[in-house]
Amino acid sequence: MTAFHHSFDRTVLREYDIRGIVGTTLQPEDAFAIGRCFGSLVHRAGGTKVAVGYDGRLSSPDLEPQLVAGLRACGLEVIRIGLVATPMLYFAAYHVSADGAVMVTGSHNPPDYNGFKMMLGKKPFYGQQIQEIGRMAREGDVVPVSTEGHDRQLDVMEAYVARLLQDYDGGDRQLKVVWDPGNGSGCNVTRVLAAKLPGEHYVINGDVDGTFPNHHPDPTVAKNLEQLIAEVKREGADLGIAFDGDADRIGVVDNEGHILFGDQLLVVLARDVLKAKPGGTVIADVKASQVLFDEIAKAGGTPLMWKTGHSLIKAKMAETGSPLAGEMSGHIFFADKWYGFDDAPYSAVRLLGIVARMPQTLSEVRAALPQVINTPELRFDCPEERKFEVVQEVKQRLAAAGAKVQDVDGVRVLTPDGWWLLRASNTQAVLVARCEATSEAGLERLKGMLVEQLVASGLAAPDFSGENAGH
């Protein structure tokens, strides 16, 4: 076998996954290199079997065979589960007892992006492990294999949907539900699942289309939910459910067409889980509302604020034995009855069960939550080499001023008005900020504090244009 050496574009090896622009920063030969290096890690760990899936992007059918060839070159058996939602690949890893799993997906990025999410064993593969792939490729540090592996096709749809339905606990109540998988790779499972659940189900944008003709597949952006909101109102539905491009993130709209943000959704789910798991640790990322942490405690749980990032949250769940976790971005992780990975169809099934058993509507539950006013997530450019330095400078100035700061991930500053957050993105050359207060005047004061700190570090103020999100 010829010697193997490969260099990736410096921008594609991210904190949580590998991702780039197809034909510009990401090429088919990158897919082979990922298979060759990741497969070597599986082989060295004593593994023999890797599951592979891909999303509905136009470039995915070109990248997947190259990835498979790289894995086979390591002498591995590759279980190819085809065009699926990312959580179906995670499920397949358990279902076939795989030693690793790789998903070809660009998640919620624009159509010209694609990338790879990985599991080694049953654990997330991220951070330094991803950087190690880069080193191995550069140095040709891969296993020499005399016998090439093989691959086989496996359809896990029936097994996955049957397992989802096993945890539906809403009885026979006939809910009316609108689903929007956003022309992403969750379309097929959405249609199959909706047909088997009790009630009336309407699926919009239900055909896989890698050009995303109807809207961008990111349910955290309000304009991407406008179609779903209109359909919920038109049908008089009990709720609407949206998925991102690979269906590992969920968006929810109540019966009045109001968006339930990630932290509000987690309140609804946590109250239910904590009935069976009193005292359980429920984890949320630093961008979540204080309301969430307070409501978890009220429901008899142990709230834990943790770093943003699906891989980091999964690792913390395993460490703490947490039954449930979530992020503002719509990643919801159930370890209660499930496997602890982020799975939007599973989260939807659990939510539907809760709504079916509730005496009140979802909008009434949402309206009863303490009302706060917050900015959306603010992202603004900051040079890669400066972003962590800026956060450190802010932290030091706040410490000198005696401010009350939580520094789990960046700085979250607590004041009588509420809180503001500044953190460095792990995946882009940006800083991320958010402010939350109990009044408009308080929110303005928090914004002022944030701007003051940014200016002190030589940065321009973020753009606060656009309405504040009240929840």
Q: What is the pLDDT of residue 247?
A: 97
pLDDT digits (tens, 9 = 90+) for 4-57: 999 999 999 998 899 999 999 999 999 999 999 999 999 999 999 999 999 999
Give the mean model confidence (pLDDT) for residues 399-406: 95
- From 330, 329, 321, 285, select the one nearest 301 (Cα to Cα): 321
What CATH architecture does domain 373-470 belong to?
A: 2-Layer Sandwich (3.30)
Are 255 and 360 in contact, with CB atoms under 8 Å apart?
no
CA 60 to CA 83: how far, in whole Å?
9
Q: What average pLDDT does the structure give for the chain? A: 95
Q: Which long-range contacts (CB under 8 A, 24 or more apart) does 298-304 make?
A: 299/270, 299/271, 299/274, 300/274, 301/270, 301/274, 301/277
Positions of CATH 3.40.120.10 in the chain: 18-155, 159-368
Q: Residue 126's closest CA among 354, 294, 313, 301?
A: 313
Give the closest residue to 100 by CA, choosing from 69, 114, 79, 73. Answer: 79
Ranges for all domains in the chain classified under CATH 3.30.310.50: 373-470
Active site residues: 107
The pair of three-digit structure tokens given for residue 331, joined into one six-digit string: 């990643």
DSSP codes of every residue in 118-159: EEETTEE--THHHHHHHHHHHHT-----SS--EEEE---HHH
**Which structure tokens are listed for 308?**
């943003």
In this predicted model, what pLDDT tens digit does every residue of 418-455 receive, in sequence order? 999 999 988 778 999 999 999 999 999 999 999 999 99
Of 279, 283, 262, the C-alpha closest to 335 is 283
Q: Is 2 a residue whose pLDDT tops 80?
A: no
Question: What digits encode the pLDDT tens for the residues 323-363?
Answer: 999 999 999 999 999 999 999 999 999 999 999 999 999 99
CATH class in words for 159-368:
alpha beta
User: What span, in angstroms and rounded, lies between the C-alpha atoms of 144 and 187?
Assistant: 40
Dmax (CA) of the chain: 70
CATH of 18-155, one of 3.40.120.10, 3.30.70.20, 3.10.20.30, 3.40.50.2300: 3.40.120.10
Given a cut of 60, is residue 277 above it in pLDDT? yes
Helices 290-298 and 262-276: crossing angle, nearest 10°?
Answer: 10
pLDDT at 467: 44
| pLDDT (mean) for 103-112 | 93
pLDDT value at 273 more than 50 = yes
Per-residue confidence band for 393, with pLDDT thresholds at 50, 70 and 90: very high
The length of the chain, given as a count of residues: 471
Q: CB–CB of 285/306 below 8 Å?
A: yes
| pLDDT score, position 379 | 86
User: Does residue 469 register a pLDDT over 50?
Assistant: no
Rg over CA atoms, the chain: 22
